[in-house]
Amino acid sequence: MKVFLETERLLLRQFTSADAELLIELDSDPEVMRFLTDGKPTEAQLIRDDVLPRFLRYYQAYENQGFWAVVEKASGEFLGWFHLRPGAPDSSQGLELGYRFKCSAWGKGYATEGSRALLRVAFAMPEVKRVIAITMKPNVKSAHVMQKLGMRFERDFVETRFPGADKAAVQYAITRDEFQKQGS
């Protein structure tokens, strides 16, 4: 992944093998993990052995897809991450946008600001026709970000990728045409 992104208030950079502790801290907050694992922290060993290596593998496989670490420009603090990756179960769905931020970074418009930048990255790739985003149904903050991005509700479905008990999820999407009409 070659793209280093800068928005008004954020820097989006590649993760490195030195970032495990940042991810462990992010996933240790039950409020952050509420809709993903019913609040259970991700085990530190799993982050070191599986999660972070998986993030790093994207950089070998793709130019403009994968996970971006988010740093607040004003403080230099790590806030969380975005991803832009092939939609599950395959890329025929389009790319999948996702985000996870520390609670201290919520309510500042950061998720929306960075997501807009990533939609521009996505649609700068001629082969990308649409971008989807998925969230658990009760996660209204996350769905609200999707709505602010101009994404449309597309479907209710059962999401089994996360271990939380409630599997009811929603999918939003935006096409290249819809994005261009926004004049973004």
Ligand X SMILES: CC(C)(COP(=O)(O)OP(=O)(O)OC[C@H]1O[C@@H](n2cnc3c(N)ncnc32)[C@H](O)[C@@H]1OP(=O)(O)O)[C@@H](O)C(=O)NCCC(=O)NCCS
Residues that bind ligand X (CB under 6 A): 32, 35, 98-101, 106-112, 135, 139, 141-142, 144-145, 148
- The SS3 of residue 150 is coil
Q: How far is the CB of 169 from ligand X (least distance, A)?
A: 8
**Which residue's CB is nearer to ligand X, number 85 or number 108?**
108
Q: Give the span between the Cα atoms of 40 and 19, in whole angstroms.
A: 20
* Closest by Cα among 90, 95, 92 to 66: 95
Q: How far is the CB of 16 from ligand X (least distance, A)?
A: 21
Q: How far is the CB of 119 from ligand X (least distance, A)?
A: 14
User: Which residues are within 8 A (CB) of 8 and not within 5 positions of it... i.e. 6 or more apart?
Assistant: 113
Q: Give the span between the Cα atoms of 118 and 70, in whole angstroms.
A: 12
**Which residue's CB is nearer to ligand X, number 17 or number 152?**
152
* Closest by Cα among 58, 70, 69, 60 to 95: 58
Q: How far is the CB of 23 from ligand X (least distance, A)?
A: 13
**Which residue's CB is nearer to ligand X, number 56 or number 98?**
98
H-helix segments, the chain: 20-26, 34-37, 44-46, 52-61, 110-123, 140-148, 176-181
CB closest to ligand X, residue no: 109
Looking at residue 97, what DSSP letter applies? E
Q: How far is the CB of 32 from ligand X (least distance, A)?
A: 5
**Which residue's CB is nearer to ligand X, number 78 or number 99?**
99
**Which residue's CB is nearer to ligand X, number 128 or number 149?**
149
